[in-house]
Amino acid sequence: MIESKGYAAQSPTSDLAPWTFERRDVGAHDVQIEILFCGVCHSDYHQIKNDWFPGVFPMVPGHEIVGRITQVGDHVKNFKVGDLAGVGCLVDSCQTCANCQQDLEQYCLEGNTQTYNQVGRDGNVTYGGYANNIVVREEFALHVSEKLDLAAVAPLLCAGITTYSPLRYWKVGQGHKLAVLGLGGLGHMAVKWGVAFGAEVTVLSTSPDKEAAARALGAHNFVVTKDEAQVAAVKGSFDFILDTVSAQHDLGMYLSLLATNGTHIIVGAPPKPLDLSAFSLFDGRKSVVGSSIGGIAETQEMLDFAAEHNIVSDIELINFKDINTAYERMLKGDVRYRFVIDIATL
């Protein structure tokens, strides 16, 4: 076994604290990565707090991982020692079902294996990237360009692909009015993609103080959703809303902002179900849809697109010891726009 050091939550009520644990040895198809940076996703917080389902504890969160390969198994074809590599939310899937065959491992019909908080196909608990190393099948490791700021690349592995994938699937681009709902880790990446794909981008935010920053990200318009006059002015106007909100919110109100045939895409994952009135869909033949992260091939496509267009996340680099404070700040919306842990501070 390989000794790993990281930060773990021992239970849903404890803070994250240093912890030593073991990973499997590097198998024939595995690579070992020395982790350099790991992003802090709101999903990490949801999971250590059992917001969605009872978690597997102790839990080492983290699924926005960038590092360097330190060991490769005998049958590894696409990576060598010294290469940069990324790992996102997935570390395994059946790789044979109809969805896996179409590069949709996130929708594996037998259930995918998430990077942490799960018992993997080999019977071992998976531990994430708030740690000094990780061992992963090479099919689930991504190539990372040497060109970009590595700390700012880390959030692309979840926040990046989770927003890139639905915008690509629904072909959002030139001629479309896109509203990005919630300007956090996912939301700020959605703004960057939307602008890069040629859409007219409006940020819908509860935080008036984010306007200047939203415009600096490239957003064309900014609407404070607590301001009734501002909301009234954009009723019936958007082709798409990309909803990244992590908490309870009024879906009906946001649906009223869609144009006829508009689509509300949910990627945020509030702990409790959202209310949906049928009538909010009838008027204007509207759709509510959802999307989960992205497949491995599409994640590589997104990383390559990011390198080509010089797109990375806006980050605040933190020391490991400040992770619990970072969660508190994230809950208050006080992050521009993603915390990334500098693993060297372990």
Binding site for Zn ion (CB under 5 A): 41, 43, 158
Q: What are phi and psi of 212, to 5 degrees?
A: -60, -45
Tell me how far apart the alpha carbons of residues 197 and 172 are, in angstroms, rounded to a whole number.
Answer: 7
State the residue for tokens 């992963």: 136
Please pick, from the candidates 32, 43, 93, 112, the single residue that binds ligand NAP as defined by CB under 6 A.
43
Measured from the CB atom, the residue of 43 and 244 that comes closer to Zn ion is 43
Does 69 sit near ligand NAP (CB under 6 A)?
no
Does 221 sit near ligand NAP (CB under 6 A)?
no
Measured from the CB atom, the residue of 248 and 277 that comes closer to ligand NAP is 248
236: left (phi over 0), alpha (psi -120 to 50) or beta: left
Supply the angle between the helices 185-196 and 159-169 in degrees, to the nearest 10: 40
Q: For residues 147-166, which are near ligand NAP according to CB under 6 A?
A: 158-159, 162
Q: How far is the CB of 274 from ligand NAP (least distance, A)?
A: 11
Does 255 sit near ligand NAP (CB under 6 A)?
no
Does 192 sit near ligand NAP (CB under 6 A)?
no
CA nearest neighbour of 49 among 39, 40, 59: 59
Does 330 sit near ligand NAP (CB under 6 A)?
yes
Partner whose footprint covers residue 234, from Zn ion, ligand NAP, none (CB < 5 to 8 Å by kind): none
**Interface segment toward ligand NAP; rule CB under 6 A; list 72-80, 108-116, 118-126, 244-252:** 244-252
Measured from the CB atom, the residue of 262 and 294 that comes closer to ligand NAP is 294
Measured from the CB atom, the residue of 4 and 163 that comes closer to ligand NAP is 163
Tell me how far apart the alpha carbons of residues 286 and 147 are, in angstroms, rounded to a whole number.
Answer: 41
Q: What are phi and psi of 344, to 5 degrees?
A: -65, -15
Partner whose footprint covers residue 38, from Zn ion, ligand NAP, none (CB < 5 to 8 Å by kind): none
Cα torsion 44, 46, 48, 53: sign: negative
Question: In this structure, what DSSP letter does residue 131 have?
Answer: B
CA nearest neighbour of 42 among 343, 341, 326: 326
Q: For residues 263-302, which are near ligand NAP according to CB under 6 A?
A: 267-269, 292-293
State the residue for tokens 């990281």: 6
Please pick, from the candidates 41, 84, 148, 242, the single residue that binds ligand NAP as defined by CB under 6 A.
41
SS3 of residue 312 by DSSP: coil
Which amino acid makes up residue 57? Answer: F
List helix spans (H) across 259-321: 279-282, 296-309
Does 46 sit near ligand NAP (CB under 6 A)?
yes
Partner whose footprint covers residue 72, from Zn ion, ligand NAP, none (CB < 5 to 8 Å by kind): none
Structure tokens belonging to residue 128: 């994430």
Measured from the CB atom, the residue of 148 and 330 that comes closer to ligand NAP is 330
What single string gives the DSSP state of each residue in 185-209? HHHHHHHHHHHHTT-EEEEEES-GG
Partner whose footprint covers residue 97, from ligand NAP, Zn ion, none (CB < 5 to 8 Å by kind): none
Does 307 sit near ligand NAP (CB under 6 A)?
no
Please pick, from the candidates 136, 196, 223, 245, the single residue that binds ligand NAP as defined by CB under 6 A.
245
Structure tokens belonging to residue 322: 């400040």
Q: How far is the CB of 38 from Zn ion (least distance, A)?
A: 11
Question: In this structure, what DSSP letter does residue 162 have?
Answer: H
Peptide bond into 107 cis (omega under 30): no
Please pick, from the candidates 133, 205, 263, 313, the single residue that binds ligand NAP as defined by CB under 6 A.
205
Question: Which residues are at the interface with ligand NAP (CB under 6 A)?
Answer: 41-43, 46, 158-159, 162, 182-187, 205-207, 210, 244-249, 267-269, 292-293, 330, 333, 335
